Amino acid sequence: MTFMNMNKIKTIALSIAGMALALSCSESIDVPLVDEGGYKTLENNLAFITDKYGCSNVDSLVFNENGTIDFYVNLTQAPKANEDYTLVYDAKVLEGYNKTKGTAIEAMPEALVTIDGTATVAAGATKSSKVAVKYTTASELKENGVYAIPLKVKGASQTSKEKGEFILFVRDISKMPNCHKDNGLQVISCMEVNDANPLHNLCYTLKESKKYVFDQVILFSGNINYNAEIGEVYNYNNENVQHLLDYKEKYLKPLQEKGMKVILGILGNHDRSGVANLSKEGAIKFAQELKAVVEAYELDGVFFDDEYSSYGSYPGFVTPSVEAASRLCYECKRIMPDKLVEVYVYGRTSSLTTIDGHKPGEYIDYALQDYGRYGDLSPYYEDLSPKGMIQGSSEFGQGRIISLNTARSIKTDGYGGTMVFGLTPRNGYVTRLNNITRAFYGEETVLTGSYAKDW
C-alpha cells in the first residue's frame, strides 16, 4: 500500500460579490486555496459567509430526510458596536452563478428551506453568532439529484456593505437504496484520504438495482505512534484523517446511512512502534485507546496493516512477531466484540495464531489479500470462514486491476469479496469496477457524479 504523506492542507476560500465557486456531486470544480491570514482591512467593511467547516465559498453535502448546517457572517474589520445581519434565500445568486459558469443547476425549492436566527457580530469581533439553515426532502426532488441553496447576507448596519453570497450544494440520496446486496459479497474501498473524499464512494451504483457498489470504506490511514516522553504508544491521525473524524456528520455519516461500514486503518509511522511488537500489556492499552476512538467517532471497526514501522530492539517492546500482532487483534475484538477487526495479508499480519484459546477466525472478521493474490487463507487464519477472505485486491492508482475471471472465481469459490485501493475522482473507474460488479451481481457500474477533496 501507499504510505500517507503528512502535508497539512487547509482550504479556506473567500467569496464576495457573487464570486462563489461550486463543488458538487454532479461536477467537480477545483476550488483555489486562499490563506485566511491574507484578509486585509478594507476601506469599506465587507461581510462574507462561512459555514461551520470554515468554508466561505460553497459546501457539498449529502443528506437524507433532512439536514441542518450552521452559518456565520464574518466582517473584514471589527465593528465598534454590535451589528445584526440576516441570511436570506436569494434565487438571483444562483441565476448569476449559472450564467457565469454556463451551468443549469436547479435551486432547491425555497419552501423546503428554513433559516433560523439572526447573525449578531459583537463589538470588537469579526464573526457572528450562528444561523441555522435547515432543509428537507420532498417527493418532487429527483432521485440522487443535486440542488443548490442560494444564500445572501443582508446587514442592518449602515457602515457595512452586504456583499456576501454562498451557494450550498446538497444531494438528495433519500430515495436511493442502501449498499446491501442479496449475496453478501463485499466490495471494500481502502481509500487514501490524503488524496480523496470518502463521499466519492457514494458515486458508484449498480445499474438496475441502484444499490451502492461499495460495502466498506477504510480510512487509510490512522497510525500507531510512540510517545517517547511517556513511553507509550498512541493513535495518531494526520490532518486529513482527523478532519474526516471531526466532521464525521458530513463525510462519514452519509456512508453509514446507506449501510457502508466505515473502518479506521492503523498503520506504522516510521518509529519504533507497530502493530506487531506490543507486549500483552501494551496491546491491551492500545486496544482500549482504539475503542475510545472508535466509539467517539462512531466508527465500525479497525483495520491493521503491518507496514512502515522501524522495528528494532527497544525497551518496552517485544520482538516483532505474528504472536504480538495476533494479541493486538484479539484484544481489540475482546474489548469491541460488536466492531469489525480486519487485517491486511502482509507482513506479520499475513497469518495469525491462537490467543488465549481463541483461534483467529474468532477474533478477526476479514483478511484482505495483497494485490492480485488469491487462495485459501485457512492455513494462515484458522477457523476464518471463506466469507471472511477478501481476494484479488486491486490498486487502481497503479492500474493493477482484478480481472473479470478472477472476480467470477471469488463468487464461485464462496469467498467474501474483493478490495479496491486508491479510488479517486480523477480517473474513470467504471470499466474497472465492471469487472467486479458484473461478476458479483450481474450488473454494470454507473458513475453518478464526483466528489473531490474539499478541505
The CATH number given to whatever domain includes residue 90 is: 2.60.40.1740
Q: Is the pLDDT of residue 172 over 80?
A: yes
End residue of a domain, out of 172, 198, 230 = 172
In a domain, 273, yes or no: yes
pLDDT digits (tens, 9 = 90+) for 69-116: 899 999 999 999 999 999 999 999 999 999 999 999 999 999 999 999
pLDDT (0 to 100) of residue 231: 93
End residue of a domain, out of 172, 201, 216 = 172
In a domain, 383, yes or no: yes
194 and 343, same domain (yes or no) = yes
Give the highest mean pLDDT range of 146-155, 161-170, 384-393.
384-393
pTM: 0.86
pLDDT digits (tens, 9 = 90+) for 284-306: 999 999 999 999 999 999 999 99
3 state SS of 8: coil
pLDDT (0 to 100) of residue 62: 78
63 and 105, same domain (yes or no) = yes
In a domain, 19, yes or no: no
pLDDT (0 to 100) of residue 157: 62
Determine the distance from the C-alpha atom of residue 154 to the mean position of all C-alpha atoms in its chain, rounded to a whole number: 34
pLDDT (0 to 100) of residue 427: 66
Give every strand in the sheet of 160-161, ordered side by side: 113-116, 131-136, 66-75, 45-51, 160-161
Active site residues: 307
Q: Is the pLDDT of residue 430 over 50?
A: yes
In a domain, 45, yes or no: yes
For residue 294, what is the enclosing H or E element? helix 280-296
168 and 192, same domain (yes or no) = no
In a domain, 116, yes or no: yes
196 and 163, same domain (yes or no) = no
In a domain, 155, yes or no: yes
Mean pLDDT for 260-270 is: 98
The CATH number given to whatever domain includes residue 398 is: 3.20.20.80
Q: Is the pLDDT of residue 3 over 70?
A: no
Q: Is the pLDDT of residue 17 over 50?
A: no
Q: Is the pLDDT of residue 2 over 50?
A: no
In a domain, 373, yes or no: yes
End residue of a domain, out of 140, 172, 204 = 172
206 and 309, same domain (yes or no) = yes
Please report, rounded to a whole number, the percentage of residues in the chain having pLDDT higher than 90. Answer: 74
Domain range for 267 is 186-447
225 and 369, same domain (yes or no) = yes
Band (138; pLDDT cuts 50, 70, 90): confident
pLDDT (0 to 100) of residue 44: 65
231 and 152, same domain (yes or no) = no
What's the whole-number average pLDDT of the chain?
Answer: 88
92 and 142, same domain (yes or no) = yes
Mean pLDDT for 114-143 is: 93
Band (59; pLDDT cuts 50, 70, 90): low
pLDDT (0 to 100) of residue 46: 85
pLDDT digits (tens, 9 = 90+) for 316-328: 999 999 999 999 9
Q: Is the pLDDT of residue 161 over 80?
A: no
Residue with cell string 498503520: 267
Determine the distance from the C-alpha atom of residue 160 to the mean position of all C-alpha atoms in its chain, rounded to a whole number: 38
Band (32; pLDDT cuts 50, 70, 90): very low
Q: Is the pLDDT of residue 43 over 80?
A: no
pLDDT digits (tens, 9 = 90+) for 345-374: 999 999 999 999 999 999 999 999 999 999
> Of 266, 383, 376, which is closest to residue 325 (Cα–Cα)?
266
Total number of domains in the chain:
2
DSSP E strand stretches across 297-375: 301-305, 340-344, 366-368
Q: Is the pLDDT of residue 8 over 90?
A: no
Mean pLDDT for 383-412 is: 96
In a domain, 63, yes or no: yes
pLDDT (0 to 100) of residue 25: 35
pLDDT (0 to 100) of residue 51: 85
167 and 191, same domain (yes or no) = no
pLDDT (0 to 100) of residue 159: 57
375 and 312, same domain (yes or no) = yes
Residue with cell string 450564467: 99
154 and 204, same domain (yes or no) = no
222 and 299, same domain (yes or no) = yes
More confident residue, 431 or 60: 431
